Amino acid sequence: MKITRRAGGVLAVAALAALSIVLESVTATAGETRYTVAVAAQTRPAVAYRAWSALLKLCAEPSGRAFDVVVHTAPTSLEMALAGGEPDLAVADGFQIIAAHQAHAYVPLIRASEPGPRTILVVRKDSSIADLTDLAGQTVLFSATDAWRLQHVRAILVAEAELGFVARIGTSDAEVFRKTARGFTTVGAGTTLSLARERVEIRDALRVVYLAPPPPPRAVVVHPRIGAVERSALIGAFLAVAASPVGAQLFRAVDLTEPRTADYERDYRPIEAIAEQAGPPPTATTLPGMRAAGP
């Protein structure tokens, strides 16, 4: 389902293969330039919308631009939108940036100053699993919200340990941690950040058996239909907002802490080999190179 909202309320509802919620962050006036900005909901969609609409409203005010926020809630929805060249701008991670660049020459405008949270594999504290070699044949529960994590872990583990294991998809890191702590799955995949946000009783029930290398920083990417002069102006607008105390706080809220100008060749070209090894983006139920698991 796709829900489109303007200032006057709901205008249209149309069925889509992947669920996304389209919400307008800033009301345009005559002569304004309007861009769509696609983001993936790493928390509840309403929370993601509020955070991004507040940030983009601040970015739009002095620039004569307006932004329509498109919150993608399905695991492959953002990847599908980028593959079709739909959004003018998007907030993407790792392999999403590479795939978008290769498909439609999307280029990163700004990126977070630091890599994203590191992926971890966790088990119950009383589990007999001690290291990666014990994962062969086990069921690993992944979150559906992070395609980079799925592919990154798959590429590294298959390359380093030649592991084969059953992959299942949960709805969120919180669900992964809860089900692992309660014994519904043997191994769960999440991030250092999401584990730190869990309740004490969940954290105390889990043990980290693998800490992945840091992923590349997430970035705001732009479609090449937006020309070079306008791209530079957008970079300037974003960085000017980030330099203010309020703007810095809003960028932190969307996990783009201390943004800086991005460069595809420097920041993302080096991981293309990993992306090629990982294969195409996974579906909601199957990871490339792994055995599929039923629901």
pLDDT tens track for 154-185: 666 666 556 666 667 777 888 999 999 999 99
Identify the weakest region by mean pLDDT among 27-31, 214-218, 251-255.
27-31
Strand partners, 141: 168, 188
Q: What would the mean pLDDT of 204-219 be, rounded to a whole number?
A: 89
Predicted local confidence at residue 95, as pLDDT: 77
Q: What is the mean pLDDT of the chain?
A: 78
The highest-confidence range among 36-45, 117-126, 165-174, 281-290, by mean pLDDT, is 117-126
Domains and their CATH numbers in the chain: 2-115+216-262 (3.40.190.10), 119-215+276-292 (3.40.190.10)
Predicted local confidence at residue 206, as pLDDT: 97
Distance CA 81, CA 11 (A): 21
Predicted local confidence at residue 281, as pLDDT: 46
Confidence of residue 287 (pLDDT cuts 50, 70, 90): very low
Predicted local confidence at residue 69, as pLDDT: 94
Is the per-residue pLDDT at 128 higher than 80?
yes
Q: What would the mean pLDDT of 52-79 be, rounded to a whole number?
A: 84
Is the per-residue pLDDT at 273 higher than 90?
no
Which is more confident, 142 or 280? Answer: 142
Burial 65-74 (b: 16+ CB within 10 A, else e): bbbbbbbbbb
